[in-house]
Amino acid sequence: MSGIIQLSPLDLSFAALLILALAGLSIRLRLGIEKRILISAVRTVIQLTLIGFVLKALFASAASGWVALMALTMLLAAGYEVTSRQKHKLRGAWGFGIGTGSMFISAFTVTFFALTVIISPEPWYAPRYAIPLLGMLLGNTMNGVSLSVNHLTQNVRSHRSVIETRLALGQTKSEAIADIRRESIRTGLIPIVNAMAAAGIVSLPGMMTGQILAGNLPLDAVRYQIMIMFMVSAGTGFGTLAAIWMTSHRLFDDRDRLRLDRLRS
């Protein structure tokens, strides 16, 4: 197979024209999101360029301490993004702590399992494998946690009277919001379930596409993609469950009273 076709800055500028066209369409239709589109595009360029240099240096050194620092930085950034996307955030550091903690429990555990049991590189924390795998797991888990927690807090606020009536009738806090909690978990899992259902028929997932573009054999790329999809699904599921459990617990006090004052308006 031939090598990778290198992309020049001019090639990327042609791709950027599509973003400019989308922003122009937003202005024309008065959608009001053109600024967010352009800022996000600029952030993408800056962040990916910087991470490219960081990964180049990290791959060259392969020191466990630098790998751990990179993983911690990624986790904290994901925790911040989860909190920033909530319409009704938990007050104080609780929102950040729950988001970060749930992703640590899920994404780091699943990544460690994949590195030590499935792939088994030498050493097991080899940054070439550890960082991309962790990044994919954190990114998808972040989306699941964000969607599920946002659904939970909004529905608890809108169904306050129903929940308090159930509590007054003798239900526990878990029973009073059981249906909202179940629906919140489903909301967080819908994107990854849809992605698995459509993989190979509607879309070629990113991991597989990247390997094929890099010159790997399609069947080898398929095997890696299957592994990634299963890992991402498990990580998203475990992370969503942990986040919903911790958030719903925080919304009540020790006497099973609903405490919406713990949410920001």
Count of structural domains within the chain: 2
* Residue 231 lies in domain: 63-262
Residues 6+ apart with CB under 8 A from 67: 58, 125, 127, 130, 131
Report the C-alpha gap between 234 and 229 in whole angstroms.
9
Rounded Cα distance between 209 and 137, Å, is 17
User: What pTM does this model have?
Assistant: 0.81
Torsion of CA 195, 198, 202, 203, to 10 degrees: 40
Are residue 37 and residue 25 in the same domain, yes or no?
yes
- 158 & 202 share domain: yes
Question: For 252, phi and psi rounded to 5 degrees?
Answer: -125, 155
Res 248: pLDDT: 92
Residue 223 sits in the same domain as residue 238: yes
* 195 and 110 housed in the same domain: yes
Query: So what's the pLDDT on residue 36?
Result: 92
Encode the chain (265 residues) as per-residue pLDDT tens digits: 456 778 888 989 999 999 999 999 999 998 899 999 999 999 999 999 998 898 888 888 878 888 999 999 999 999 888 888 788 888 888 989 999 999 998 999 999 999 999 998 888 999 888 998 999 899 889 999 999 999 999 999 999 999 999 999 999 999 999 999 999 999 999 988 888 888 877 777 777 777 777 777 888 888 888 888 899 999 999 999 999 999 999 999 888 888 888 888 6
CA distance 11 to 45: 14
The reported pLDDT for the residue numbered 2 is: 52
The residues pairing with 252 across neighbouring beta strands, listed in sequence order, are 258
pLDDT of residue 3: 61
Which stretches of 85-202 are DSSP H helices?
94-103, 109-113, 127-158, 160-168, 173-176, 178-198
Q: Are residues 29 and 115 in the same domain?
A: no
Tokens of 84: 């920033």
Same domain, 113 and 20: no
Torsion 113-119-120-122 (CA) sign: negative
Closest CA to 90 of 255, 254, 246, 256: 246
What pLDDT does 1 receive?
Answer: 46
HSE of 69, CA atoms in CB hemisphere, 13 A: 8
